[in-house]
Structure 1
C-alpha cells in the first residue's frame, strides 16, 4: 500500500484538481443539456466519482486514511442511488414507453 501512496504523491495535486474539475463540469453539462434520464443518472455518477477521486487524492496527500473511508461510504450511497433511480426509470418506461424527462411532467397528479 505504501507504493501506491508514493506513486500518487509524485503527481502534483494541481493535476488532480484540474482533472476532477473537468470531470465534474462534464457531469453538470450532461445533466443540464440531456433529456434522457439514464444519461442524466450517468452524469450524476460522474460528478460523484470526480468528488471521490479528489477526496482520495487529498487524503493521500495528507497521509490520512479517514478520507478514503469516506470515499467508500460515498460509493455505497451512490450505488444505492443508482439502484433506486434505475427502478424508478424502469417503472416510468413501463408507463410511458420513453425515458425522456420531458414526458415525466405529464405524470404529475
Structure 2
C-alpha cells in the first residue's frame, strides 16, 4: 500500500485545523479545529504503523488510542472553561477574554 493518500489527507486536515485555530474567534470552533489536528495526528500514527514495521507491534495504534483519550479529556476541560466564560462574560469570543486580571482600582 502506498501511504501517500493518507499522509496528504492528514496534512490537509492538520492545515485546516491550524487555520481554524489561528483564524476563528469563537472558542467552540477553536476546540473543533484542535480536534481536527488531533485526528490528523491519529491518521498519521495509524498509517505509519501499517506501513513502517518497527520493533513495537501496533505501536501507532496504541499511541492513537492515547491521543483519543487526550482529546476526550481536552474537550471535557475545554467545554467547561467555555461554559464558565459564557456565564461570566456572556460571550465565547476568544479575543475578548482578558489574559491578566486587573485590580479593581485600574480600568
TM over 0.5: yes
2:59 corresponds in structure 1 to: 66
Q: Deviations over 1:53-93 (max 9, x none)?
A: 11101101134301101110111011001100000000000
**1:29-108 aligned within 5 A:** 29-63=19-53, 64-105=57-98, 108=100
Structure 1 residue 103 displacement after superposition? 1.4
TM-score (norm 1): 0.85
2:5 corresponds in structure 1 to: 15
2:105 corresponds in structure 1 to: none
Q: Could you say which structure has the higher helix fraction? A: 1
TM-score (norm 2): 0.86
> What are structure 1's unaligned runs of at least 5 residues?
1-8
Aligned length: 98
> What are structure 2's unaligned runs of at least 5 residues?
102-107
